[in-house]
Copies of this chain bind each other. A is one copy, B any other.
Amino acid sequence: MIIYKDKTYICALDLGFEQIRSKWKAVILCHLEEGSKRFLALQRMTGAISQKVLNTSLREMEEEGLIRKKVYPETPPRVEYSLTEKGKGVVPALKIIEAWAQENYPEARGQEL
């Protein structure tokens, strides 16, 4: 039994998985692995994600220390998101899932991010 931020988890996997379980976090993290990305770039890459959800996902992951947000004081504003060391630590797991899907789902053959 683990308690973290007022929530209880039954094991480490439960806790860790919860951090990336929402609809788009995994995809976002994988995209950021290619290098830092701007808000609009992320939105375009995912395509389907709404602004609101992209924002909450990014903020939550920033609070968890998975990603870093850098704001350039320009007009129009420029913001870049990138992976932290902690964030880089989960990506290998996501890569495995991606490869696993490509192997096991014919539809996904060769479908990279």
Contacts and interface: CB of A to CB of B under 8 A. Distances in A.
A26 B13 contact: yes
Interface in A57-113: 65, 86, 89-90, 92-94, 96-105, 107-108, 111-113
B104 A100 contact: no
Interface of A: 2-4, 8-17, 19-21, 23, 26-27, 30, 46-48, 65, 86, 89-90, 92-94, 96-105, 107-108, 111-113
21 contacts: A2-B105, A2-B108, A2-B111, A4-B105, A11-B108, A12-B101, A12-B111, A12-B113, A13-B26, A13-B30, A13-B94, A13-B98, A14-B26, A15-B105, A16-B97, A16-B100, A16-B108, A21-B23, A89-B104, A92-B96, A93-B97
